[in-house]
Copies of this chain bind each other. A is one copy, B any other.
Amino acid sequence: MDVSYLIGLFATVTFSVTGVLAARAHNMDLVGIIVVGVVTAVGGGTIRDMILAVPVFWVADANYLLAAVAAAVATFLARDRIQRRMQWLLYLDALGVAMFASLAVVKSLDLGLGAAPALVMGVITGIGGGIIRDLLTGRPTLIMSRDLYATPILFGVAVQLLLLRMPGVDPALATVIGGALIFGSRSAAVFFHWQMPDILTLPGGDS
């Protein structure tokens, strides 16, 4: 049981928690809640593994499913206490995204992918579960928001890939730096309410 395994489990738990809380205003029953929690937790990685044509991670190791279900049930039970700390959860979500995305890059490179597809796999793994959650619960997808969500992933993963190309850089260190940059920039975006400058944004309006 290595460190990246534990990190993956921890990220699974954080995604399940945030998935359940995102769904909480929807008059859902416990089974629906568990479905949303599990899908949010494992959805991105499932798409990643299907595209990579490797065995889907939770089929080979049921611990991910058990962790996601346990986290969803615990979140349901403790929802009143947790809801008062919603802001805090955005940072937990940022941590999960950072871990999933940077590990997905490692997995993709290990399978022989080039830098561009590996970067895409990082983004898919980071945002896939959240997008499926939004679709299942009828919310605007996170892509539709001006909140910076995909951008920090793109930024951190790009740095990670650059570092991995540099001779003499420890791959583990590059991955930790990539993940830390995702977490740090996403957290800063949450804390300071960063948005893309208007010049990089399409004005809303009639289509």
Contact = CB atoms under 8 A, between A and B. Distances in A.
Contacts of A56: 51, 53
Given A27-B203, A204-B27, A35 B136 contact: no
A202 interface: yes
A56 B28 CA distance: 32
A202 B24 contact: yes
Chain A interface, DSSP helix/strand/loop, else mixed: helix
A58 to B, nearest CB: 6
A131 to B, nearest CB: 7
A159 interface: no
Contact of A137 (B22, B32, B143, B154): B143
Contacts of A160: none
Nearest to A79: B202
A30 B117 contact: no
A31 B202 CA distance: 11
Contact of A31 (B46, B52, B120, B151): B151
Interface in A2-55: 22-33, 35-36, 38, 46, 50-53, 55
B202 A33 contact: yes
A84 to B, nearest CB: 13
Contacts of A167: none
B29 A196 contact: yes
Q: Which 3 A-B pairs have the closest CB atoms?
A: A25-B207, A27-B204, A29-B196
Interface of A: 22-33, 35-36, 38, 46, 50-53, 55-56, 58-59, 62, 65-66, 76, 79, 113-117, 120, 123, 127, 131, 135-138, 140-141, 143-146, 148, 150-151, 154, 195-196, 200-207
